[in-house]
Structure 1
Amino acid sequence: MTLLKKQLVTLCLLCISVVSYSQDYKSEIKTQFNDYLDAITSMDFNKSMDYVSEDLFKIIPRDQMVRVMEQTFNTPGIEFKLEDAKIHEVNDAEKIEGKFYAMLQYSNVMFMKINAQDDENEDETEEEKAESQELQLSLTKMALQQTFGENNVKYDEKTQFFEIYAEKQAYAISPNGKDNWNFIVVEKNQKAFLERLLPKVLTDKI
């Protein structure tokens, strides 16, 4: 085998090795993040914390995070359902300050229903109650559209559920770039908080 052929064979083997490594760690990220999404969808918030960056618990204790999640999804008068969580893309990982970070894009669908409260004003007529409910639904829809986009919010008058499609981002974080990935969900309106968890080079992109 000539020297040129040897060099070409070596180059091909290196390329195959790099592609294989890329697929391996990205597959690991997808597997672990899907486990995280499954825990959130089934509302097993304690289990979901197993996949969250430990750095978060230095700011907010784990048990407090679980309570916040439970309180949020068990708000009196509001029903929540989460469905159809999907990972769309995992970007290449980069090493920053001794850790590996990979941005991923994902989406889910949230269903939300506002139920009538037992302590409604009994002095109101049925017509007044209907008008009050219609106003509440209108204001809720407007707020959801401002947050998630007008085309991403639908209201089903038959089931009385809002259907909200949300595209999100998260950072997968690993000490070695191969496994033990955990995650931080990125919300633009929480940039100041994320600056305590992520390197500046990453938060500058938010």
Structure 2
Amino acid sequence: MKNKFITILFVLISVLSFAQAKGSSEEIQIKKSLTYFVNSIKAKKMNQAVDCIYPKYLTVISKEQMTQILEVTYNNPLLKIDIGDLNFGVIEKPELIDGEYFSITNYGFKLQCDVSSTNDETQNKIETALNTKYGQGNVKVLKKGIYVINAKMRACAISKDKKYWKFLILEKNYKPQLVRILPKKILDKI
């Protein structure tokens, strides 16, 4: 009797552990879509990356402008950025609002930023901006003009069918643009 109880308990714990590790199907799809987005940027396929952005946002900033912003940021000879070690934090359960599902997604990655080809003044300004944006404890100087950043990010994943997700980066300074396209319930979480 004692052996049966221990066996049943072990099986139950194993099943529960597997279920928690696996995550919901929505969570898996969000991770898959976000990984595709980040890998598109990493591979410098900016048009592909822009296709991962929530289409309503492209009514605020045109697709061409967004592509250009990504090109200048991630494909710039003066500002070399490498993305690595994508990891996921809490992914909220999707909420249905006006026919679309919204999920706040926490994620992070390591950025290596090399601006060593710029002058000292520019390097100092960039270092200050990185510390302001990511927090002083998350920016390490490898050597003058080369930084490793532990970037902790938040995005809103949006889908009509819970299978294909589009994204918006959530930062307080983007809120004036996002007010026009996100429901108040989601905006209140920024």
Alignment TM-score > 0.5, same fold: yes
**Larger Rg computed on CA atoms:** 1
| Shift in alpha-carbon separation, 1:32–1:136, aligned structure 2, 3 A | closer
Q: Which runs of 5+ in 2 are unaligned?
A: 1-18
Letter in 2 for 1:96: I
Correspondence for 2:5: none
Correspondence for 2:189: 205
* 2:153 aligns with one of 168, 171, 177: 168
Structure-1 separation of matches of 2:124 and 2:62: 37
Structure-1 separation of matches of 2:81 and 2:109: 13
Structure-1 separation of matches of 2:64 and 2:124: 35
Contact 2:84/2:109 (8 A) holds in 1:
yes
> How many Å apart are 1:183 and its aligned residue?
1.1
* 2:140 aligns with one of 115, 138, 154: 154
Correspondence for 1:31: 32
TM-score normalised to structure 1 length? 0.74
> How many Å apart are 1:104 and its aligned residue?
0.7
Structure-2 separation of matches of 1:187 and 1:60: 16
Contact 2:105/2:156 (8 A) holds in 1:
yes
* 1:191 aligns with one of 175, 179, 182: 175
SS at match of 1:51: coil
Correspondence for 1:113: 114
For this pair of structures, how many residues does the alignment match? Answer: 171
TM-score normalised to structure 2 length? 0.79
Matched, 1:78 2:79: yes
* 1:145 aligns with one of 124, 127, 131: 131
Q: Which runs of 5+ in 1 are unaligned?
A: 1-18, 118-131
- 1:131-156 deviation digits (Å, cap 9, x = unpaired): x73x5544432332122111101111
> How many Å apart are 1:105 and its aligned residue?
0.4
- Among all aligned residue pairs of Structure 1 and Structure 2, give the percentage whose two residues are the same amino acid: 26
Q: What RMSD in Å do the two structures reach over aligned CA positions? A: 2.4
